[in-house]
Amino acid sequence: MKKMLGLLLATSIAFSSMGAFAAENDASFKDISDKKYDWARPYIVEMAKGGYIAGYEDNTYRPDNMVTKLETIVLFSRAMGAKKDDNAEIIEIALDKYSDIIEKANLNFGEDEVAYMLYRGALDEDDVNKYLAGGKASLAMSRQEASAIITKAMCADEAAKAELLVDMDYTDAKNISSEYSQYVFFVSENGIMNGMDDGSFMPEGNVLRSQIAAMLYRTVDKMELYIETVLVPEIETDVNNITLLDDENKEVKIGYKNTTKFYSNGEIIKDTEFVNSSRAMLTYIFNSLVFVDMYDRVVDETIRGIYQGASTQEGITTVTIKPSNSSKAVDYQAVGGVQVVDENGDSVSFNKISAGSYVEIELTNDKLLKLNVLKKDSFIKDATVANIEIEDDLYLTISHEDEEYDGMVFVLSDDVVVYKNNDVEDLSKIYKGDRIDITMEYGNVTKLKAYSNTKTYQGTISEISISTEPVIKIKSGEDILEFVAATDVKVKVNGQDATLYDLRVGDSIKLSAESDTILSIETTSASITGNKISGIVDVVNASKGFIKVNGETVFCKDATTTFITAAGETKVMKNLKAGDTVSIRGVMQNGAYMATLIIIE
């Protein structure tokens, strides 16, 4: 009994919904201890432990009860993987595809399993009519009928029918119907079903629960069902080879037979119709690939850049690309069967691509699936500046109605030509929200044309976030408008020069903005005064709502005071501690200093 439960436990098959209550899988059924069940007891015990079969509420197994035709089909459908999570999507497709056939059969349970066998070709409409329709589903399954269901579930229908001359030693071999003789021969030769003690097969005899446990165990053990979902970079149909990526992202070649079935979206396709670089679910039975279910082509990432060259060593091709949004070249390992398409749309080899060509590559699992050569010059019109970020270089992110361009990031060099409202400008005048046209050569931005309107807005400050990209929201009428502040934004409070730190929620504000970027701010505030306190915190009394700075008492609390760091991070009073350096803005009320803003240096 090779592999024992290793493969056995891979699927959960039980007699639930079959007249047997799904009690806990206790192998110590009280009615299988009799000596006459010695042969069956190991199978019943192992199947119960594995969750394939279950006893009744009274902890009996009832080994002599007969098994119905539907129960038999359901059990062996599950044996071929119907209840594995991998096949959940296929079950949905199968139920829809074969809904008419299943509905006519009027089943009480087992629709999923019947649909799965129809989908895999283990059953057809004639089989459903023969075994299930017209009330036949609840009738006892005969032993010779069971041999056919088991053979079909093992995907061995053609192999069984290929045995034209079958010779069996059963004493009642002549009673086996010619319709089932090849199936009986197959299950007998493979040790799935054996004869009775008197040497007969009893083809018309009912399948019993004791017998089905043995049949299930032997079937699953013999089938060695295995399912995996992998990326398939290439199928070589001339030699029946499939290339897949293993868990370590290495390419592995496996063979398949002419009888292997290929599926796509519920339909059987030819192997030549399989799309390379697609995700696929592979199902193996008898250590042979029997089903290939093709899912959508997988592309994790698309990168544009300059092609530097390609080299092949020990059969592995490495392609070097300098991405448009990077100053460094990157090596990518190409999958077997990688697609290379030139500027004219023709498939070519890497040696036909010139170094310096502008290309687009498609990646999955960091492997190169496809390389397209793009035109030298390209243009993107009617984009919007979504973000400008300065790190080791200046990065521009755009938004666009076309998904092909939306979210693209560009590295802008110092020599890019910039126009703002048709005047020559520098990059510092490109603001978030500007409408922009981009001209590229070999993927590098050579020209930017930006357009904006300067507008004035009035309202009340509703929110302030002071950080590396200060954001101010104002309420204007019924609308909440959001802006970012330019690095050189000019601020006046009550007519005096001020900073963003002097702004408070509730202040009346008038601002001038280009696109979504504020250039100047004027506010009127009754809270900010010329009295500012700076120094080191001596005392913090959060419960009483005051601190002391340089010996002066300052009243503050979360409800009326804004606490932030110099970097713009929001804090609360409990974050203050003695020894902190602070800068405070506030007002004098009834002889006491009331803080409206505390900046923690």
265, 124: one domain: no
Give yes or no: residues 219 and 230 share one domain: no
pLDDT digit string, tens, across residues 259-291: 999 999 889 999 999 988 888 999 999 999 999
Domain CATH number, residue 590: 2.40.50.320
Highest-scoring range by mean pLDDT, 140-154, 245-259, 342-356: 140-154
pLDDT in tens, 367-396: 898 999 998 788 899 999 998 887 777 889
**433 lies in the same domain as 461:** no
Kindly state whether residues 243 and 285 are assigned to the same domain.
yes
- pLDDT per position as a tens digit, 168-185: 999 999 999 999 999 999
Domain count, the chain: 6
> Which residues partner with 513 through β-bridges?
455, 518
Domain ends where: 193, 223, 253? 223
Tell me which residue range forms the domain holding 405: 377-451
pLDDT bin (cut points 50, 70, 90) of residue 123 is very high
**Residues 99 and 30 placed together within one structural domain of the fold:** yes
Structure token pair of residue 109: 């349970």
**Are residues 110 and 50 located together in one domain of the fold?**
yes
199 and 101 in a single domain? The answer is: yes
pTM score: 0.59
Q: In degrees, to the nearest 5, what angle opens at C-alpha 53 toward C-alphas 52 and 54?
A: 135
Q: Please write down the HEC assignment for all residues of 350-412.
A: HHHCCCCCEEEEEEECCEEEEEEECCCEEEEEEEEEEEEEECCCEEEEEECCCCCCCCCEEEE
User: The CATH number of the domain where 265 resides is what?
Assistant: 2.40.50
Between CA 484 and CA 395 the distance in angstroms is 17
594 band by pLDDT with thresholds 50, 70 and 90: confident
232 and 218 assigned to the same domain: no
Residues 396 and 339 in one domain: no
- What is the residue-averaged pLDDT of the chain? 87
> Where among 396, 417, 451 does a domain terminate?
451
Is the pLDDT at 13 greater than 60? The verdict is: no
**Lowest mean pLDDT segment, chosen from 89-98, 129-138, 412-421:** 412-421
Listed residues 524, 559, 576: the one ending a domain? 524
Task: Say yes or no: 234 and 217 in one domain.
Answer: no
218 and 329: one domain?
A: no
Same-domain check for residues 427 and 537: no
Predicted confidence at residue 458, as pLDDT, reads 92
